[in-house]
Amino acid sequence: MNRLIIVGSPRVDGRSAHLADLLFETCIEECPDDEVALAPVSTLDIGPCTGCDACRALVAKRVDAMIAAGSEAEAGELPSRCVIDDDMAEVYELLDAADELIVVAPVYFAGPPSQLTALLDRLQPYFWTDARREAKRPATLHVIGEGGDPHGFDPLVGIVRSALSCAGFGLGRVLDWVGKIDEHGEIVAEAVEYPVPALPGAARAGKVSAGLAERDGCAVEPEQDIGLPANIVKPKFSLSQENAKVRQPVGNESASQKSGGAASLGSGPGRKGGNAAGRSGGSARKGSSSRKGAAPGNKGGKRRG
């Protein structure tokens, strides 16, 4: 199984980075035969979607090339999906290979940071494929925050859920870490499972889809048409409180020192050069682009995701 962990915080060494590190290590410890990759937006060069719509034609060319090449098609030989030349090209490949997706995201004014929004918006090429209509691969969202905002994070859940659905992932689980990780990355309380709300337009969309299907003389299951799989498989590995307590406040020590002798996996997301595909160490891949100075939100304020 291939797992991808997207770290949606602009902070290289914030709460989200520390939790993602722990999830990465937990994946390796509990599922040693699986592949796991880490993609932190804090060190990836991902520009915003410009709405040019060029991906529609590019995806069509890519599909034609895949059909022509058959099973021998190599990802690097296929046409790109987007005219923007940046690290998102490698994120696409990681997403394509992922059997399970984990997103660690801080809450900024009830929604995602702009850096994570850029990545999610760049999933638009998948809209021109059948990914959103096919059986969904499982996705889990870990929500991070210092706490104190009475507006919650439903917009964050909705945005992530919508974008991932377009790319072929079903958000089956949301874990609330708000107020449960301190500024040093220490877990001080267990996450609470946040109920994934029903889609606001699900009932209406289902009726409309059924109506169009009847008009066209074909049978369509509404939940398939709107991307609502009946049985989303939850991730196999779990982050128990026992595992969480292994994590110590992070300074400059190595991963093995932080985990009390666990196998060293590097110094964490974004702390080593490379790219999204990144470093490969057996079944583990930790990736990032080069660090580009202080990330937004490093000074003062309440944004410590």
- What's the distance, CA 239 to chain centroid? 17
pLDDT digits (tens, 9 = 90+) for 187-226: 999 999 999 888 776 655 555 444 433 433 333 333 333 3
In this model, does residue 21 exceed pLDDT 60?
Answer: yes
pLDDT at 118: 97
123 to 20, 57, 80, 166, 210: CA distances (angstroms): 21, 15, 13, 7, 27
pLDDT at 75: 52
Instruction: Determine which of 35-49, 169-183, 212-226 has the lowest per-residue pLDDT on average.
Output: 212-226
Asked whether the beta carbons of 199 and 158 are under 8 A apart, the reply is no
Rounded Cα distance between 104 and 205, Å, is: 29
Rounded Cα distance between 56 and 83, Å, is: 11
Q: DSSP state, 197?
A: P
Radius of gyration of the chain (CA): 20
pLDDT digits (tens, 9 = 90+) for 247-269: 333 333 333 333 333 322 223 33
pTM: 0.68
Angle at CA 50, nearest 5°, toward 4 and 152?
55
Rounded Cα distance between 264 and 161, Å, is: 33
In this model, does residue 35 exceed pLDDT 80?
Answer: yes
